[in-house]
């Protein structure tokens, strides 16, 4: 091979951004490995237990940005017990020791404590960006530490975290010298906020472009804040309970009139239809709109609002929009790329929910659609075939029919053909979630056609082990497979054990795998951690009297170079 | 299965006080479903024996109640962990939707119970027993307003959008303010539509001491500064809904 001086390789490698490319470069030879590792600035760890934090810090000492994910995805739906793991502490400690240049940290589904946040804040004087998604274990005291010690903080983004409320003083901890904030999101906080401190903070941060408020912020306060920050691009409102007869409401209209840069709107806590007129002035420029926390906004008022947003690319709504509302979206929002329709009535059956009709309407009106999350009461094969034909560009397709195992209501058939059409037509499909009545056939189709599929979520589907085997055999790029309540057992689990080394993780709960099968897997594949989560009261009994044929409640398998983890609680057995 | 009974007040009063708990029919309905629309009724024991096997409600047929989700499936679905796959954050924000109306035959008004507040069927039944035992034990959850003249007691009720009479207070204020409360507070032939917590509080604060003559033909959507309590025994005479016999407290 021609010799390249290090500086030249370095220069070339600098152009590489993606992790995949850089990972590939690092395997060429030792010299290139060295060059690459010393020049890597962004590190992404998809599973915090796949590698030990010290190793990561040792390999990439000059990293500026670290992203780590903890619990498996199904933890979002309460399937993973509270103290399963995913602790941020070892990562922050290792970074504090080994990576002095760290400026950005992004954590998802991890347990973060106030001590962790304080250590983070004190260890990195140049710290710029903290993003916490679906995390828990910390309180507003931890936020106070971040505000106090991160002098040049640009971004504090808290998305859907469980944060304990220890008072509203944390916001006042941003010193008067802090003028660097670009993005602030505290929408998930449940407690009160010092509105005065917030207004002063906003006033002294001229670069602020993204601000997402929580429910405690009143309309009056929103008015004052927006008056100070008319250049906002992304706004999450506070509480929108406002009577349209009041002065606050009229001021709100004027305020929004001045927000010419607004491209994204969310929040709308406690909003009812009468506040919507205030946002009409910004609708024409909106690229993203999230109304999914506003169950009171429905019917014609909702439709009227959306029809003004003809540049919309991303829309999140509740299913009370109805099929009629979705038809209106289809005729107005021709640039729509991402649609999420959430259920508003989780326990009963609403009368204004969406069906297959709404989805078909969207697919015919919005050909650019590439990302879908759709909760509905029913779906037909015909509809899915039509959707597949209209929208071949799906990269993410998640359909959740609320009644588990429900067939096509018109034909009473399973939805195999419908989903089959989706995977055949959408060549770039990376993520898929299935629901409704499904046999092994749908998995055959997925295995045959879903070449680029990376993540598959299955629930209440399939007839036999063959279903799972089709998927494991066929999907070459599969990274994450999560299964619940399906009749897949040991034979499927053990059919191709080396497959799991090519994947990030496998989750199986309420399936037919037994302890024997899991033990066999663990024995054959030392490079995998095979975790059994057993929460039943008889767990102690089983410790002594382990019956091999005992069906495993929850199984989590992941590849790792770190060996078994030492922080697992009692109810997690690592085989 | 309506609680309306024709006949004079003495029989209705004895019917109320002589309530035999085991004989009452219990129905659960999602908000928005009027009781008169439900074709199916489930007895107490049927509800308790409801199987939680997922297979059972997988085979739910389409010839069940027209309001799908009323009765069996809705209670069973509440027990499947992690389904539908909605993040807890979002679930908690939309929490007000987990309240269901409970009607017990022979009682003058309905109650609302939060399914999420109970860990299982047994706890739910215990809570419901406590809710409805007031008709025998005369143990009202809210303030007891007593007419000093004849000793009759009053409880605050309202008529919701389905036309059912509900006891005020089951849904906590915090939740109330976050949902679009459009119930009516019955007055003398007038309907009060409270859009938010402030208006509702205003309506209740004027309950005491106002006396009005019967008025007809009032605009349903107009907010009126009047509301009245209904005598609990007379609340049984719900149909027709003209307020003959409605008396204000004190």
Task: Compute the average pLDDT of residues A60-80.
Answer: 96
Instruction: Indicate the SS3 state at residue A253.
Output: helix
Confidence of residue A283 (pLDDT cuts 50, 70, 90): very high
pTM for this predicted structure: 0.75
Q: Which residue has the higher pLDDT, A224 or A549?
A: A224
- At A544, is the pLDDT very low, low, confident or very high (cuts 50, 70, 90)? low
CA angle (A72 as vertex; A439, A384 as ends), nearest 5: 35
CB atoms under 10 Å from CB of A53, counted, come to: 23
Rounded Cα distance, A280 and B35, in Å: 39
For helices A114-123 and A140-149, what crossing angle results, to 10°?
A: 0
Give dist(CA A106, CA A88) in Å, integer.
11
Mean pLDDT over A465-485 rounds to 97
Q: Which residues contact A528 (CB under 8 A, 6 or more apart)?
A: A500, A501, A521, A522, A557, A558, A559, A560
Q: What average pLDDT does this structure show over A422-451? A: 97
Confidence band, pLDDT 50/70/90 cuts, at residue A418: very high
Q: Does the pLDDT at position A400 exceed 80?
A: yes
pLDDT attached to residue A570: 87
Contact (Cβ atoms closer than 8 angstroms) between residue A127 and residue A152: yes
- Asked if A403's CB is within 8 angstroms of B73's CB, the reply is yes
Indicate if the pLDDT at residue A174 is higher than 90. yes
Higher pLDDT, A220 or A431: A431
For chain A, give the number of residues: 575
Look at residue A142 and tell me whether its pLDDT is greater than 80: yes
According to DSSP, the residues that pair with A68 across neighbouring strands are A45, A107
- Mean of pLDDT over chain A: 93
pLDDT on residue B153: 59
* Torsion angle of the four alpha carbons A430, A431, A436, A441, in this order, in degrees rounded to the nearest 10: 40
Which tens digit of pLDDT belongs to each residue from A493-514? 999 999 999 999 999 999 999 9
Mutate to test the interface with A, among B83, B92, B100, B117 (most CBs of A within 10 A): B83
**What's B98's DSSP letter?**
G
Q: Please choose, from the candidates A303, A300, A299, A259, the residue with its C-alpha nearest in 3D space to the C-alpha of residue A279.
A: A259
pLDDT of residue A356: 96
**What average pLDDT does this structure show over A123-135?**
96
pLDDT at A18: 87
Distance of CA B30 to the CA centre of its chain: 11
Query: β-strands A155-159, A183-185: how paired?
Result: parallel
Per-residue pLDDT reduced to its tens digit, A231-245: 999 999 998 887 767
Interchain proximity A134–B87, CB inside 8 Å = yes
Residue B204 near residue B227 (C-beta atoms within 8 A): yes
Task: List residues bridging with A433 in a β-sheet.
Answer: A398, A457
**Distance, CA of A243 to CA of A251 (rounded, Å):** 12
User: Looking at residues A182-205, what average pLDDT do you find?
Assistant: 95
Whole-angstrom CA distances from B67 to A305, A412, B71, B100, B182 are: 30, 20, 9, 14, 22
Which segment of A127-131, A524-528, B31-35 scores lowest on mean pLDDT?
B31-35
CB contact under 8 A, B68 and A400: no
- A43, A67 in Cβ contact below 8 A? yes
CA B217 vs CA A294, A383, B130, B188, B190: distances in Å = 34, 48, 39, 11, 8
Residue of B29, B33, B40, B84 for testing the chain A interface, max A β-carbons within 10 Å: B84
Look at B95 and A413; give whichever has higher pLDDT.
A413
pLDDT in tens, A294-333: 888 888 889 999 999 999 999 999 998 999 999 999 999 9
Q: A258 exposed, middle or buried (CB, 10 Å; 0-12, 13-18, 19+)?
A: middle
pLDDT per residue over A12-44, tens digit each?
888 888 888 999 988 988 888 998 899 999 999
Contacts of A79 in chain B (CB under 8 A): 81-82
Q: Which residues of B touch A344 (CB under 8 A)?
A: 94, 97
Beta carbons of B100 and A269 less than 8 Å apart: no
Mean of pLDDT values over A529-534: 93
Q: Are B145 and B153 in contact, with CB atoms under 8 Å apart?
A: yes
Average pLDDT score over residue span A426-455: 97
Spatial separation of the C-alpha atoms in residues A59 and A371, rounded to whole Å: 36
Which of A276, A346, A436 to mutate against chain B (most B CBs within 10 Å)?
Answer: A346
Please determine, for the modelled complex, whether the ipTM score is greater than 0.85: yes
CB atoms within 10 A of CB A44: 12
Per-residue pLDDT at B123: 72
The pLDDT of residue B134: 61
Q: Which residues of chain B have pLDDT under 70?
A: 1-79, 95-101, 114-121, 133-163, 168-250
How far is Cα B156 from Cα B229, in angstroms, rounded to an integer? Answer: 5
Q: pLDDT at position A271, please?
A: 85
Strands A264-266 and A455-459: unpaired
pLDDT of residue A329: 97
What pLDDT is stored for residue A332 in this prediction? Answer: 96
């Amino acid at each position: 091979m021609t010799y390249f001086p290090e500086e030249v390789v370095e220069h070339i490698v600098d152009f590489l951004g993606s992790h995949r490319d850089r990972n590939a470069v690092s395997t060429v030879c030792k010299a290139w490995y060295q060059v690459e590792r010393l020049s890597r600035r962004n590190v992404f760890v998809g599973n915090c237990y796949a590698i030990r934090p010290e190793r990561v810090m040792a390999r990439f000492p000059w990293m500026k940005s670290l992203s780590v994910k903890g619990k498996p995805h199904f933890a979002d739906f309460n399937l993973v017990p509270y103290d399963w793991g995913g602790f941020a502490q070892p990562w922050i400690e290792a970074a504090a020791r080994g990576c002095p240049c760290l400026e950005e940290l992004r954590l998802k589904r991890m347990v973060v404590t106030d001590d962790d946040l304080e250590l983070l804040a004190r260890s990195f004087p140049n710290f710029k960006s903290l993003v916490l998604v679906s995390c828990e274990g910390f309180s507003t005291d931890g936020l106070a530490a971040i505000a106090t010690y991160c002098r040049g903080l640009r971004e504090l983004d808290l998305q859907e975290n469980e944060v304990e409320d220890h008072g509203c003083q944390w916001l006042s901890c941003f010193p008067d010298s802090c003028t660097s904030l670009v993005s602030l999101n505290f929408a998930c906080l449940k407690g009160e906020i010092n509105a005065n401190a917030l207004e002063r903070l906003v006033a002294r941060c001229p670069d602020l472009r993204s601000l997402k408020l929580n429910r405690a912020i009143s309309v009056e306060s929103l008015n004052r804040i927006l008056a100070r920050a008319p250049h906002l691009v992304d706004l999450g409102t506070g509480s929108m309970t406002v009577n349209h007869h009041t002065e606050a409401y009229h001021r709100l209209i004027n305020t929004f009139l001045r927000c010419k840069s607004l491209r994204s709107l969310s929040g709308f806590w406690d909003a009812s239809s009468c506040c919507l007129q205030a946002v009409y002035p910004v609708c024409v420029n909106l690229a993203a709109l999230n109304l999914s926390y506003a169950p009171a906004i429905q019917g014609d008022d909702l439709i009227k609002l959306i029809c003004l947003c003809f540049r919309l690319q991303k829309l999140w709504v509740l299913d009370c929009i109805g099929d009629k509302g979705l038809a209106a979206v289809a005729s107005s929002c021709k640039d729509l790329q991402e649609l999420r329709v959430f259920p508003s009535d989780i326990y009963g059956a609403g009368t204004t929910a969406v069906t297959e009709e709404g989805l078909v309407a969207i697919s015919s009106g919005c050909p650019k659609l590439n990302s879908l999350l759709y909760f509905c009461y029913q779906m037909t094969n015909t509809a899915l075939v039509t959707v597949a034909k209209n929208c071949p560009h799906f990269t993410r397709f998640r359909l959740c029919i609320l009644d588990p195992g429900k067939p096509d209501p018109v034909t009473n058939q399973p939805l195999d053909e419908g989903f089959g059409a989706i995977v055949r037509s959408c060549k770039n499909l990376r993520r898929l979630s299935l629901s409704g009545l499904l046999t092994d056939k749908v998995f055959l189709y997925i295995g045959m056609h879903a070449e680029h599929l990376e993540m598959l979520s299955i629930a209440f589907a399939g007839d036999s082990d063959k279903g799972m085997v089709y998927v494991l055999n066929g999907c070459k790029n599969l990274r994450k497979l999560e299964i619940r309540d399906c009749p897949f057992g040991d034979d499927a689990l053990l059919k191709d054990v080396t497959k799991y080394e090519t994947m990030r993780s496998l989750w199986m709960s309420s399936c037919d795998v037994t302890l024997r099968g899991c033990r066999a897997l663990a024995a054959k594949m030392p490079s995998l951690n095979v975790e059994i989560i057993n929460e039943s009261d008889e767990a102690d009994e089983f410790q002594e009297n382990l019956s091999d044929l005992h069906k495993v409640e929850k199984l989590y398998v992941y590849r790792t170079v770190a060996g078994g983890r030492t922080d697992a609680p009692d109810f997690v057995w690592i085989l | 299965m309506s609680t309306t009974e024709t006949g004079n007040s003495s029989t209705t009063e004895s019917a109320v006080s002589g309530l035999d708990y085991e004989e009452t029919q219990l129905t659960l309905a999602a908000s928005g479903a009027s009781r008169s629309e439900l074709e199916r009724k489930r007895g107490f024991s049927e509800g308790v024996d409801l199987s939680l096997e997922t297979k059972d409600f997988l085979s739910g047929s389409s010839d069940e109640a027209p309001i799908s989700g009323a009765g069996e499936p809705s209670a069973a679905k509440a027990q499947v962990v992690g389904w539908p796959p909605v993040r807890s954050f979002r679930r908690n924000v939309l929490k007000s939707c987990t309240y269901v109306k409970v009607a017990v035959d022979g009682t003058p008004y309905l109650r609302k119970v939060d399914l999420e507040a109970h860990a299982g069927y047994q706890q739910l039944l215990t809570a419901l027993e406590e809710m409805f035992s007031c008709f025998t034990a005369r143990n009202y959850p809210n303030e007891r307003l007593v007419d000093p003249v004849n000793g009759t007691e009053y409880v605050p009720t309202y008529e919701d959008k389905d036309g059912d009479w509900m006891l005020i207070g089951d849904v906590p204020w915090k939740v109330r303010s976050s949902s679009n409360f459009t119930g009516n507070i019955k007055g003398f032939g007038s309907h009060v539509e409270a859009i938010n917590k402030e208006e509702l509080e205003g309506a209740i604060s004027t309950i005491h001491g106002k006396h009005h003559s019967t008025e007809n033909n009032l605009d349903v959507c107009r907010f009126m500064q009047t509301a009245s309590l209904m005598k609990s025994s007379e609340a049984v005479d719900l149909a027709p809904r003209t307020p003959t016999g409605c008396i204000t407290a004190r």
